[in-house]
Amino acid sequence: MNERKSKILISYLFVLPALLFVVVFLLIPMIQNVYYSFFAWNGLSKPIFIGLKNFQKCFVDPNFVRSFMNTIIWVVFTLLVPVSFALLVAVFLKEIKGGSFFKGVFFIPLTISFVSTGVIWINMFSTKGVLNTIITAVTRNPDTVSWLTQVPLNTIAMLIAWTWQQMGVYMVLFLMGLTTIPQDPIEAAVIDGANKFQIFKAVTFPMLQPITTVVITQAIVNSFKTFDLIYVITHGGPYRSSETMAVTMYRETFSMFNMGYGAAISLVLSAIIIIISGGYVKSQLKQDLLHY
């Protein structure tokens, strides 16, 4: 064996452990998931082949339809609030003194796990929590608001907690993008008499397009996968009213032991994420090519 073939063989040997890890812990479970989505199975008895009935059930199951609509609400809210606020905060922090301190303040929630975040916001929104205590002290009204058991307040409460936890990472990404923007176009706009809003609209925001694509894609994927926070705060309740697709998938699979139906929901969820994320990234890449 010559030296070149020997180097190639050694390279494959280094790649092999990672490849085996991906095959055993990712590809095989994915194939099993696709397989069981065509069966009625409770995890113990023999699976019964039912074809596409699990997928057909998704379109007529009111719990799935409600969880799908809730998931859409999470995605739209994430794009409108955490992502937009993160962009504004990043732009303002870049301009002010002491920006590093405020960056740390906004970034701290990201270092806290979703479970801990859920516990923190349960204490905030519970009937005897911080928020109701403040409202009672201000209004002198002893009646408390059921933030976590009243629809749609429970979803709004969780979206506030989600914003608190997620805004930091989007802010950091936008700050990274802002540092890569060259100063020449901005200085030229200033000389032409443009104000700060006009500079942001005509220069800064268009030049942030690559990092904006990353942020929006990540925000969409994270919103569709949201599980921990919802399960800790409301368990998807009351009466499954605040479930998202990920929570419905978990409940059907591990609480109600509808393994086949849970597998079908997971495939539908994965397909939606791939189609939306892939479509958005493809459209942005086309726009980038047009600019060049």
* pTM of the predicted protein model: 0.82
pLDDT in tens, 18-42: 999 999 999 999 999 999 999 999 8
CA-based nearest residue to 216, from 93, 98, 83: 83
CA-based nearest residue to 155, from 25, 26, 95, 67: 67
At residue 290, does pLDDT exceed 60?
no
At residue 117, does pLDDT exceed 60?
yes
CA-based nearest residue to 226, from 279, 40, 234: 234
137 Cβ neighbours under 8 A, 6+ residues apart: none
Helix (H) or strand (E) holding 276: helix 259-291
Task: Please state whether the peptide bond connecting residue 152 to the residue before it is cis, i.e. omega within 30 degrees of 0.
Answer: yes
Arithmetic mean of pLDDT, 92-119: 83
Per-residue pLDDT, 189: 84
Residue 140's pLDDT band (cuts 50, 70, 90): confident
| In the chain, % of residues over pLDDT 90 | 22
At residue 168, does pLDDT exceed 60?
yes
pLDDT in tens, 221-252: 888 888 888 999 988 878 888 889 999 999 99
Per-residue pLDDT, 286: 64
Dihedral-angle region of residue 237 (phi above 0 means left; psi in -120 to 50 means alpha; beta otherwise): beta
47 Cβ neighbours under 8 A, 6+ residues apart: 36, 39, 40, 41, 260
Q: How far is CA 27 from CA 205, 271, 278, in A?
A: 39, 16, 20
Which tokens in the block code for residue 50?
A: 């039912």
